Structure 1
Amino acid sequence: MSAREPQGVAAEASGWIDALPQAVLLSEQGLVTRLNAAATRLWGVAQERAQGRPVLEVVRRHTLEALLERGGELELEASGRTLRCTATRTGVSGALIVEDITEHRRREAELREATAVLSHEFRTPVAALRGVLEALEYDMPADLAQNFVRQGLQETERLARLVEDLAVGFRPTRARTLPLSEAFARAERLLRPELGARHAELTFGQDHLVRADPDKLLQVLLNLVENALKYGPAAQPIRVQTEARGHWVEVRVLDLGEPISDTESLFRAHTRGQHATGQGSGMGLYIVRSIVHGWGGQAWAERQGGANAFCFTLPGVAGLG
């Protein structure tokens, strides 16, 4: 074997460890013997400066020094990142491997949020269907039974739409050009039983051509009008106003409820208004803002005159309105 062969093997090993996305620190008797490229970026210390120095001087965290001494695994937060740290020991030699799992944790949080969203969205139609089926167990006039059947079909339509939404992250958006009046008509049809129960009148403003996923737009409208029905006074009008603003169309849902002191907090996950009663997960307005941000718009709430206005924007298309 020539003298160059061991050097070539060492260079190959060095290239391999530098190619790893994880930060790797090797030590012996508490002193650093090797940092790979990811480790030099993580701790900001070049291999030449780190070699031969105590581990603590390089990693600058007693928790990592202790982990390397005993071996094991832990997670820590550093500069807004989540790091998974694994250490192994063999005699006086040790290896510390640090992996950035920030994106993994973010996806886990999104999954938990999606579960909460689905729980919120499925609760209302499932409860309505249960009530319809319980009512149909009893003898009643045919016209009344037919009315319950219609309500059940409406809630089934909502459930079918929600099931379709389960695949929204796995397919392209189904955005198309449509008149707002189309979405308004669908929303009014689905909300008719709730409007009747609250003796509330729902009116819509001027029509505009917009570009959006029709089901997502419907979901936003349903959430906002249901929110107005839930928190506004009974037998009071709910107005849906529209206005063109350049290349965007602004939609406002107004109710005559009590003034809201902190409107911004209502759009956070699991947050409910101070006048909220009964059960609720506080996800409705969070869902609205998430959908609206998805098509590049904005969603907010403000006080206009004597009414609460829940507003959102969506891309407009010239030619109508």
Structure 2
Amino acid sequence: MSAVPMTDDRVRVLIVDDTPDIRLLLRMSLERYPAFRVVGEAGNGLEAHARAREEPPDVVLLDLAMPVMDGLAALPGLRRIVPRATIIVLSGFGADRMAERALSAGADGYLQKGASPTTIVEYVSALVSERSVVPLSLGQRRRAEGPVAEGVEGEKVAADASGVLDAALRLAPYGVVVLRLERDRTVVVDANPAAVRMLGATGAIDDRPLGEVDESFASLVERHRAALSANRAVDVELTAGATPLEVRLRGEGGLIACYLDDRPAGREGALLRQALATVAHEIRNPVVVLQGIAETLGLDQSPDRRAQLTGAIARQARVLERVTADLLGAAQARHGKLEVQVEPVRLADVITHSVQGVPNLDDVDVIGDAAVRVMADPLRLQQILANLLVNAVKYGAPPIAIRLEPLADQVRISVEDRGPGVPAAFRPLLFTEFARAAQTTSRGTGLGLYVVRSLVEAQGGQVDHEDHPENGSIFRVTLPSAPEDGPRA
């Protein structure tokens, strides 16, 4: 490989990724070469800013999809803190879709996750030496350059394409609306006939304030103004008149593109597409880690390093097992085929196994008598607790606790965290299939709490949520208690 020339100072690297095992793999790959020194690690953009201030790096390896602050949001701050650093974005998102945004936000290079550790090190070395920007893909160059033909012929091609697009929008079964954000109002720039019909308007709505067309639509846009002004996408539901609509809003340079769908199948299709995308993201990191370890294990490693890698394999295998268990559980619940085998179960054993299967869970307090027993399927109860703990890690914040409360003929098991809590608008969807709160930056399939509810109810129990009195969330599972003289699981 092309190595960075040795100097008195090694190349200082900051690794930013919310998956500790990916950080471990990158650290081990870089430290095989004496030219590199890893000076810090961070699990989100805010932590990356703090680490960069503590010890300024020469290179930042930056993940895009992270909680608290994602990579794109962190890039401008990193550029201010370490203006001379080489910032390389690592992401599981498609390069054609995200590379240009990452580069325009200040990144010097872009690599998709899944590249081998050796490839990553070679790329970092080359980019540090040359400080060159990754060339755009052919498709991106074509989009940036416009029509290949020049002069009159090029203008004709563009005009023809514009006419075809206008005709397609007029005939589209989806509603398409373009809005313009102004200081104190939102104005309709254009709308196709389907959108006019869905919004219950009469006549053209171009150049009209959105509030005059549909107050609820205008209120919805206003609630998400900050995200749309930052060029983000928002998926929401809207009732226009008596018609429920699925709405996607995407901000871009002061304009908002709105896509409306009033067909029942539209929601099912959207849910399926979302499920496929989120499941792909959820399993991407474990696959990346396992691929990297397969390459790294073939190298000469110390016993300590081999133990670290073996531990990473076990952790990522548990992540894959949890995702596949949720997919299977959701499918069984939807088709009424969810089976449980209820028996007396001692909670201490289930809690131990559940905690071991949760990545990034540093500590959890168990409050109450863990020797108490419930009537439950032990494997299903382990899945329930693991999902609630994963939810607390992803969307909440420490301290995380499991509280056990014996009742008259039941036992209440609560998982508590001190995070930001559940947004009020999202609470009705909390235990529904594929539900994820808008603007969340954490990865997830949207199935975890749906599976929890399905499994709890299948075992004769109930699950609910309430706000923690000191900020955060409390998820409570209530199950029948086991008879005193029953056998122990």
If the length of structure 2 is used for normalisation, what is the TM-score? 0.37
Partner residue in 1 for 2:159: none
Q: Percent of counterpart pairs with the same letter?
A: 26
Partner residue in 2 for 1:251: 413
The one-letter amino acid paired with 1:211 is M
Per-residue CA deviation, residues 282-305 of structure 1 (Å, 9 max, x unaligned), is: 221111111111112111110131
TM-superposed CA distance for 1:230, in Å, is: 0.6
CA distance in 2, matches of 1:209, 1:118: 38
RMSD over aligned CA atoms reads: 3.5
Contact 1:231-1:275 within 8 A present in 2 as well: no
Contact 2:395-2:442 within 8 A present in 1 as well: no
The structure 2 residue matched to 1:137, chosen from 295, 306, 315, is 295
The structure 1 residue matched to 2:446, chosen from 282, 285, 305, is 282
Secondary structure at the counterpart of residue 357 of structure 2: helix
Of structures 1 and 2, the larger Rg is shown by 1
CA distance in 2, matches of 1:269, 1:164: 11
CA gap of 1:128–1:218, structure 2 versus 1, over 3 A, is same
CA distance in 2, matches of 1:238, 1:145: 31
Partner residue in 2 for 1:186: 353
CA distance in 1, matches of 2:284, 2:304: 23
The one-letter amino acid paired with 1:317 is A
The structure 1 residue matched to 2:384, chosen from 220, 224, 249, is 220
Partner residue in 2 for 1:269: 433
Partner residue in 2 for 1:312: 477
TM-superposed CA distance for 1:212, in Å, is: 0.9
Per-residue CA deviation, residues 8-33 of structure 1 (Å, 9 max, x unaligned), is: xxxxxxxxxxxxxxxxxxxxxxxxxx
Q: How does 1:69-88 map to 2 (within 5 A)?
A: none
Per-residue CA deviation, residues 130-168 of structure 1 (Å, 9 max, x unaligned), is: 313313423443322222223323443565675699597
CA gap of 1:231–1:170, structure 2 versus 1, over 3 A, is closer
Secondary structure at the counterpart of residue 481 of structure 2: strand
1:298 aligns with 2:456: no
Partner residue in 2 for 1:104: none
CA distance in 1, matches of 2:357, 2:414: 19
TM-superposed CA distance for 1:129, in Å, is: 4.3
CA gap of 1:245–1:187, structure 2 versus 1, over 3 A, is same
CA distance in 2, matches of 1:285, 1:264: 12
CA gap of 1:117–1:284, structure 2 versus 1, over 3 A, is farther
Per-residue CA deviation, residues 209-247 of structure 1 (Å, 9 max, x unaligned), is: 0111111111111111111101123xx220010111222
Secondary structure at the counterpart of residue 184 of structure 1: helix
Partner residue in 2 for 1:210: 374
CA distance in 2, matches of 1:226, 1:241: 16
Paired residues, number: 204
Per-residue CA deviation, residues 237-292 of structure 1 (Å, 9 max, x unaligned), is: 20010111222111111111113243332112222134621433322111111111
Secondary structure at the counterpart of residue 145 of structure 1: helix
CA gap of 1:187–1:120, structure 2 versus 1, over 3 A, is farther
Of 112-121 and 264-273, the range deviating more from structure 2: 112-121
Partner residue in 2 for 1:70: none
Q: How does 1:105-116 map to 2 (within 5 A)?
A: none
| Structure 1 gap segments, 5+ residues each | 1-108
CA distance in 2, matches of 1:288, 1:115: 22
CA distance in 2, matches of 1:175, 1:270: 27
Contact 2:350-2:382 within 8 A present in 1 as well: yes
The one-letter amino acid paired with 1:256 is R
Partner residue in 2 for 1:240: 402
Secondary structure at the counterpart of residue 317 of structure 1: coil
If the length of structure 1 is used for normalisation, what is the TM-score? 0.54
CA distance in 2, matches of 1:185, 1:211: 18
Partner residue in 2 for 1:151: 312
